[in-house]
Amino acid sequence: MYNTESAHPVNREGRRFIECPFYGDCLMHAAKHNWTAWTCAKCPNLRLDLVCKKLKFISPYYQLLSEIYPQFRTKYEPAIGLFDLEY
């Protein structure tokens, strides 16, 4: 189901970010409205793509720190766990 608080597609040609967790919602919205094109350009979740890329890059460093300092794992793991870094 389309959630207006999480997905914000715009009915025009443009870039789409398929790694966004709300991509499916936007695709469903575009299909229901019979759009021939849509973009993520004005979506506030666009920044989420950049955050995921940075987390994917720094994740190995956090893992190393957690092996050296076990108490570090309890601090970083809840935040890193919010993102699917396996893509």
Asked if the structure places residue 11 within a domain, the reply is: yes
The span from the CA of 40 to the CA of 86, in Å, is 22
The span from the CA of 15 to the CA of 30, in Å, is 14
Residues 68 and 37 in one domain: no
How confident is the prediction for the chain on average, in pLDDT? 77
Determine the pLDDT at residue 4. 42
- Per cent of the chain over pLDDT 90 is 17
Residues 36 and 75 in one domain: no
The span from the CA of 42 to the CA of 10, in Å, is 7
Asked if the structure places residue 87 within a domain, the reply is: no
3-state secondary structure 17-36: CCCCCCHHHHHHHHHHCCCC
> Domain limits at 20?
1-44
Residue 37 has pLDDT above 70, yes or no: yes
